[in-house]
Amino acid sequence: MSAPRRELSVAEIHAPNDTAELIALEKYRALGGESHRVLRCLETILAADRYEIVDTGQIARFLGIRSQAVSRALKTLVDQSIIERGDRIGRSHTFRRLDGATRSAADDCVIRLDVGKPADIRAVWNFLKSNDPGFDEAAARRHLKFGMVLYLLHDGQVAGSALVDYNAMIDSGPTIVRLIVDRKLRALGHGRKFLTQIEQYFHGMRIFVHAPVENKELIISLLKLGFDIVGQEAMGGQTALILKKGPGA
């Protein structure tokens, strides 16, 4: 008869050389189901060095739970010192994560699509087919060859893609001509996060964006991120605003 199975402790699974991480793991174990699900939504939205607005209604819709449950989860996370509540802005509260408390299994990152990696290309194309009604694979392939395609990885999956006109020999700076982000993640603020990461990718350069006038959500996000409207032009029968942000703006 085999010996009863013994549950391993956190200290046995992880080398005890990072006290902050061990404390965080112990806090994770104490969380209830709702709190843990809310935390999974927050951990790629919140930063440690600044407070961000958290919309409980959007998180509730994303998770399929009641807003009151999200509010309870936020209180639990604050009480457990996993996140910290900041000032209220309008009807929403702001929060930030505490260092060492939340850490994604796979951090989000922006990657340049490599023409020599067909598996990555197919993954991005499949994402665009599912999320972009106007997706044209032939046009995207031309863009991949002569311009640049950046994509966002979230939890190891393609969650966003940007088509960028960029010529390193011209000083005008990269121009984002199309930006697509998974709808549910966009509602949680990942569109703004993707734009911020693209800025970091092109560190020290002016960045331009062509935003269709009917895409008010994108335009508002760009203005909040410090972009200025500098003109407009016709694109494929549509009118697009041209927005610019200088380095360090």
169 and 80 within one domain: no
Q: Which two tokens stand for residue 214?
A: 């009917």
| Percentage above 90 pLDDT, the chain | 21
Task: Let me know the angle formed at the C-alpha of 108 by 79 and 64, rounded to the nearest 5 degrees.
Answer: 55
Count up the domains in the chain and report the number.
2
Residue-wise over 233-245: b if at least 16 C-beta within 10 A, else e? eeeeeeebbbbbb
Within 13 Å and on the Cβ side, how many CA atoms surround 176?
30
SS3 122: helix
User: pTM above 0.85?
Assistant: no
Residues 157 and 35 in one domain: no
Q: Are residues 130 and 54 in the same domain?
A: no
| Same domain assignment for residues 93 and 114 | no
* Tokens 């005890």 belong to residue: 16
Q: Which of 43, 50, 48, 58 is nearest to 154 (CA)?
A: 43
Owning domain of residue 229? 109-245
In terms of domains, do 17 and 61 share one? Answer: yes
The answer to whether residue 1 is domain-embedded is: no
- pLDDT-derived band at 54, boundaries 50, 70, 90: confident
Widest CA span in the chain: 78
190 inside domain: yes
Which pair of tokens denotes residue 156?
A: 């190891």
What's residue 16's pLDDT? 37
Are 29 and 150 found together in one domain? no
Mean pLDDT on 172-197 = 85
Asked whether residue 86 is domain-assigned, the answer is yes
- DSSP secondary structure code for residue 182 in this structure: -
Query: Which range, of 17-31, 74-88, 159-173, 231-245, averages the lowest pLDDT?
Result: 17-31
Pick from 97, 122, 151: which residue ends a domain? 97
* Higher-confidence position of 172 and 214: 214
Q: What's the pLDDT score for residue 141?
A: 92
Under the banding of pLDDT at 50, 70 and 90, the label for residue 3 is very low
- Percent of the chain at pLDDT exceeding 70: 80
Mean pLDDT of 142-157: 88
Using CA atoms, how far residue 91 sits from 14, 45, 57, 156, in Å, is 41, 19, 11, 33
pLDDT value at position 179?
A: 92
Whether 127 and 219 share a structural domain = yes
Same domain, 49 and 116: no
For residue 103, tell me if it sits in a domain: no
Q: Average pLDDT for residues 176-194, to the nearest whole number?
A: 85
User: Is residue 82 domain-shared with residue 129, that is, in the same domain?
Assistant: no
CA distance 113 to 110: 10
Residue 162 domain-assigned? yes
CATH of the domain at 63: 1.10.10.10
Question: Of 68, 97, 126, at which residue does a domain stop?
Answer: 97
Long-range contacts of 87-96 (CB under 8 A, 24+ apart): 87/51, 89/53, 92/53, 92/54, 92/55, 92/56, 93/53, 93/54, 94/51, 94/52, 94/53, 94/54, 95/42, 95/46, 95/51, 95/52, 95/54, 96/46, 96/47, 96/48, 96/49, 96/50, 96/51, 96/52
Residue 87 and residue 108: Cα distance in Å, rounded?
27
pLDDT top residue among 27 and 48: 48
Look at residue 46 and tell me if it is in a domain. Answer: yes
In this structure, what CATH number is given to the domain that contains residue 232?
Answer: 3.40.630.30
Residues 20 and 117 in one domain: no
91 and 127 fall within a common domain = no
Residue 3 lies in a domain: no
> Given 39, 70, 97, which residue is the final one in a domain?
97
- In this structure, the answer to whether residues 25 and 82 fall within a common structural domain is yes
